[in-house]
Structure 1
Amino acid sequence: MRIFSFLADAVGTVVTPAFLLFASLGILSSAGVKRVFDLRPLLGRGKRSGNGASPLSALSLALAGTLGVGNITGVASALMAGGPGAVVWMWIGAVAAIPVKYAEVLLAVRYRERVGDGWRGGAMYTIRNGFGGGTAARKAGAVFAVLCATNALVTGNLIQSNAAVSLLPGDRRVLWGIALSLSVALSVCFGTKRIERAAARLMPPLTAFFLLVSLAAVLPHADLIPGILKDTVRSAFSLRAVGAGAMGFTVREAVRFGVMRGIFSNEAGCGTSPTAHASADTDSSEQQAALGVAEVIFDTLILCTVTALVLLTADRVAGGFPWGLDADPAPAALEGFRVLSGKIAAEGIRLSTVLFAYASVIAQIYYGIGAIRYITESKKAEGAFLALSVLMPVCGAAVSPGPMWMIADLLLGSMTILNCSVLLLFRGKLRPAPVRNPPNSGSKASSGPRPLRKYGTRP
Structure 2
Amino acid sequence: MLLQIITAISDFLWGTPMTVALVGTGLYLGIRFGFRYNFRKVGFNFRNTFGKMFQKGEGTGTVSGFAAACTAMANTIGVGNIGGVATAIVSGGPGAVFWMWVSGLLGMSTKACEIILGQRYRVKYSESMDEYMCDRSFVMKNALGWKKGAVVLSVACFVLGPWTCCVQTESVTSSLQEGFGIDPLISVIVLGVTCFLTIAGGLKRISSIMEKVVPIMALFYILGGLGILIMNWSIVPSAFGLIFKSAFTPMAGVGGFAGATVRDAIRYGIARGLYSNDAGTGYGIIAHASAKTDHPVRQASWGWGEVFLDTIVVCSVTALSLILTNAYIDYPDVDSAQLTTVAFKVAYGKFGGWFMAIAIAIFAWTTIIGMYYSCEKSVNYAFGDTKANRRATWVYMVYYMLPCVLFYNIEADTLWAMTDLLSAIYVIITLLFIYSKQREIFRLFHDFWDRFVPAQERGENPEPVVYGTVDEKAKGEF
TM-score range normalised by the length of the shorter chain: 0.7 to 0.9
Q: Distance in 1 between matches of 2:57 and 2:198?
A: 31
- 1:156-175 equivalent positions in 2, closer than 5 A: 157-169=165-177, 170=181, 172-175=183-186
Partner residue in 1 for 2:98: 88
Partner residue in 1 for 2:282: 271
State the shift of 1:118 in Å.
2.8
In the alignment, structure 1 residue 354 sits paired with structure 2 residue 354: no
Task: Give the 3 Å change call, closer, same or farther, for CA 272–154 of structure 1 in structure 2.
Answer: farther
Partner residue in 2 for 1:5: 7
- CA distances 1:184-241 after superposition (whole Å, capped 9, x unpaired): 2232333343223222221121111111111011222133333333443454445787
Partner residue in 1 for 2:17: 15
1:120/1:279 contact within 8 Å kept: yes
1:13/1:255 contact within 8 Å kept: no
2:76/2:367 contact within 8 Å kept: yes
Task: Give the 3 Å change call, closer, same or farther, for CA 21–264 of structure 1 in structure 2.
Answer: closer
- 1:162-201 equivalent positions in 2, closer than 5 A: 162-169=170-177, 170=181, 172-201=183-212
Instruction: Tell me whether 279-288 or 171-180 shows the greater mean CA deviation.
Output: 171-180
2:67/2:210 contact within 8 Å kept: no
Q: Could you tell me which amino acid in structure 1 is paired with residue 360 of structure 2?
A: T
TM-score (norm 1): 0.84
Partner residue in 2 for 1:415: 426
Specify the SS of the correspondent of 1:247. coil
Partner residue in 1 for 2:378: 371
In the alignment, structure 1 residue 24 sits paired with structure 2 residue 47: no
Task: Give the 3 Å change call, closer, same or farther, for CA 271–192 of structure 1 in structure 2.
Answer: same
Specify the SS of the correspondent of 1:72. helix
State the shift of 1:12 in Å.
0.9
Instruction: Tell me whether 19-28 or 293-302 shows the greater mean CA deviation.
Output: 19-28
Task: Give the 3 Å change call, closer, same or farther, for CA 159–128 of structure 1 in structure 2.
Answer: same
Q: Distance in 1 between matches of 2:21 and 2:361?
A: 33
In the alignment, structure 1 residue 43 sits paired with structure 2 residue 53: no
Match of 1:288 among 282, 291, 299: 299
Match of 1:391 among 402, 419, 429: 402
Task: Give the 3 Å change call, closer, same or farther, for CA 255–12 of structure 1 in structure 2.
Answer: farther
2:92/2:264 contact within 8 Å kept: yes
State the shift of 1:346 in Å.
3.5
In the alignment, structure 1 residue 127 sits paired with structure 2 residue 133: no
Partner residue in 2 for 1:249: 260
Specify the SS of the correspondent of 1:114. strand
Q: Could you tell me which amino acid in structure 2 is paired with residue 257 of structure 1?
A: Y
State the shift of 1:312 in Å.
1.8
Q: What is the percentage of aligned positions where both structures have the same residue?
A: 27
Q: Distance in 2 between matches of 1:87 and 1:154?
A: 30
Q: Distance in 2 between matches of 1:69 and 1:199?
A: 16
Q: Distance in 2 between matches of 1:278 and 1:242?
A: 47
Task: Give the 3 Å change call, closer, same or farther, for CA 129–241 of structure 1 in structure 2.
Answer: farther
Partner residue in 1 for 2:65: 55
2:45/2:304 contact within 8 Å kept: no
State the shift of 1:366 in Å.
0.8
Q: Distance in 1 between matches of 2:230 and 2:149?
A: 49
Q: Distance in 1 between matches of 2:308 and 2:258?
A: 31
In the alignment, structure 1 residue 139 sits paired with structure 2 residue 148: yes
1:73/1:329 contact within 8 Å kept: yes
State the shift of 1:395 in Å.
5.0
Q: Could you tell me which amino acid in structure 2 is paired with residue 12 of structure 1?
A: W
1:148/1:415 contact within 8 Å kept: no
Q: Distance in 1 between matches of 2:262 and 2:152?
A: 33
Specify the SS of the correspondent of 2:325. helix
Specify the SS of the correspondent of 1:397. coil
Specify the SS of the correspondent of 2:76. coil
Q: Distance in 2 between matches of 1:126 and 1:49?
A: 21
- CA distances 1:319-362 after superposition (whole Å, capped 9, x unpaired): 53345xxx562332212111112322432332132122211211
Cα RMSD (Å) of the superposition? 3.2
Task: Give the 3 Å change call, closer, same or farther, for CA 229–35 of structure 1 in structure 2.
Answer: closer
**Any gaps of 5 or more consecutive residues in structure 1?**
454-459
Task: Give the 3 Å change call, closer, same or farther, for CA 320–54 of structure 1 in structure 2.
Answer: same
Q: Could you tell me which amino acid in structure 1 is paired with residue 379 of structure 2?
A: I
Q: Distance in 2 between matches of 1:315 and 1:191?
A: 44
- CA distances 1:279-331 after superposition (whole Å, capped 9, x unpaired): 10112212210022111011101110111110122226x953345xxx56233
Specify the SS of the correspondent of 1:249. coil
Specify the SS of the correspondent of 2:433. helix
Q: Could you tell me which amino acid in structure 2 is paired with residue 43 of structure 1?
A: R
Q: Could you tell me which amino acid in structure 2 is paired with residue 168 of structure 1?
A: L
Q: Could you tell me which amino acid in structure 2 is paired with residue 153 of structure 1?
A: P
Instruction: Tell me whether 14-23 or 432-441 shows the greater mean CA deviation.
Output: 432-441
Task: Give the 3 Å change call, closer, same or farther, for CA 265–240 of structure 1 in structure 2.
Answer: closer
Q: Distance in 2 between matches of 1:220 and 1:381?
A: 53
Q: Distance in 1 between matches of 2:247 and 2:159?
A: 32
Q: Distance in 2 between matches of 1:41 and 1:218?
A: 28
Task: Give the 3 Å change call, closer, same or farther, for CA 33–97 of structure 1 in structure 2.
Answer: same
Partner residue in 2 for 1:457: none
Partner residue in 1 for 2:237: 226
2:97/2:243 contact within 8 Å kept: yes
Specify the SS of the correspondent of 1:119. strand
State the shift of 1:173 in Å.
3.0
Specify the SS of the correspondent of 1:269. coil
Match of 2:122 among 112, 118, 123: 112
Task: Give the 3 Å change call, closer, same or farther, for CA 230–240 of structure 1 in structure 2.
Answer: closer
